[in-house]
Amino acid sequence: MAIHPHLVICEHCDAVFQRRKLAKGETASCTNCASILYRSEVINVHQRLALSVTAAIAFMIANTFPVVTINLHGLESHTTMWQAAMALGQGDAAPIAIPTAAVAVLVPMLQIAILIWVLLFARDGRRAPGFAHAMKLLGVLRPWSMVEVCMLGILVAVIKLSSLVQVYAGAGVFATAGLMVLMTLIAGRDVSQLWAVTGVGAAGGETQ
């Protein structure tokens, strides 16, 4: 069974198109249903690796330092996204703590770790051990990564509490904002381009 590297199929309507080299900033979309087929390379493998390492640092800061600190008559309280997810673990709503911890902390963490792993090898055009599984997992994780929703959640919580208590933004919130931007750059749909730029021996012919 053969692969046709010069073809692309629209995932939303199954129309088949000839692949074409795109100029920077160009997007190829389906003439049938207007879905995006693929984009020109925004960042190359080396840049993606550099940004992934940056994301790892931002992630550590975002989850170590408090995102919000409140003060009620001299009593102080602060929280991180992990502690917030754990706070749901008390009482009748407890099961929701698991998906919350996943979407806010665990999924982004896994995404960054997997990206760094595959990119370290992709630098030399190689496929990391477990490459296929890693790429599949990245695809499964992508819709469940909610750093940007966390960011909005922090802002809403701050406004909600600001009428009752004194609220301070922690260092974690700035790191979360940075992480939000980095995640859209490194973990988007265009990660699948790694299939085309890596490969051993015969698979090397798969480059577009």
Instruction: Find the binding residues for other proteins in span 48-67 (CB under 8 A).
Output: 67
- Verify binding: residue 139, other proteins, rule CB under 8 A: yes
Backbone CA torsion sign across 142, 148, 149, 154: positive
Q: Can you tell me which of 35, 64, 184, 207 binds other proteins, judged by CB under 8 A? A: 35
Q: Of 28-36, 46-54, 110-118, 178-186, which segment contacts other proteins by CB under 8 A?
A: 28-36
Cα Rg of the chain, angstroms = 21
Q: How far is the CB of 159 from other proteins (least distance, A)?
A: 5
Over the range 130-165, which residues count as b (16 or more CB within 10 Å of their CB) and which as e? ebeebbeebeebeeebbbeebbebbeebbeeeeeee
- Verify binding: residue 171, other proteins, rule CB under 8 A: no
Which residues 94-113 are close enough to bind other proteins by CB under 8 A? Answer: 94-97, 99-100, 103-104
- Cα–Cα distance for residue pair 193/88, rounded to 1 Å: 38
- Cα–Cα distance for residue pair 52/58, rounded to 1 Å: 10
- Verify binding: residue 206, other proteins, rule CB under 8 A: yes
Residues 74/173, Cβ–Cβ less than 8 Å = no
- Verify binding: residue 124, other proteins, rule CB under 8 A: no
Q: Of 43-51, 57-65, 112-120, 139-147, which segment contacts other proteins by CB under 8 A?
A: 139-147
Q: Can you tell me which of 106, 135, 179, 182 binds other proteins, judged by CB under 8 A? A: 135
Q: Can you tell me which of 113, 149, 171, 200 binds other proteins, judged by CB under 8 A? A: 149
CA atoms within 13 A on the CB side of 124: 7
- Verify binding: residue 169, other proteins, rule CB under 8 A: no
Q: Can you tell me which of 64, 184, 192, 208 binds other proteins, judged by CB under 8 A? A: 192
Distances, alpha carbon 69 to alpha carbons 72, 86, 103, 149, 202, in Å: 10, 17, 22, 19, 56
Residues 78/183, Cβ–Cβ less than 8 Å = no
Residue whose CB is less far from other proteins, 53 or 101: 101
Q: How far is the CB of 89 from other proteins (least distance, A)?
A: 9
Q: Can you tell me which of 26, 27, 34, 200 binds other proteins, judged by CB under 8 A? A: 34
Q: Can you tell me which of 44, 46, 64, 72 binds other proteins, judged by CB under 8 A? A: 72
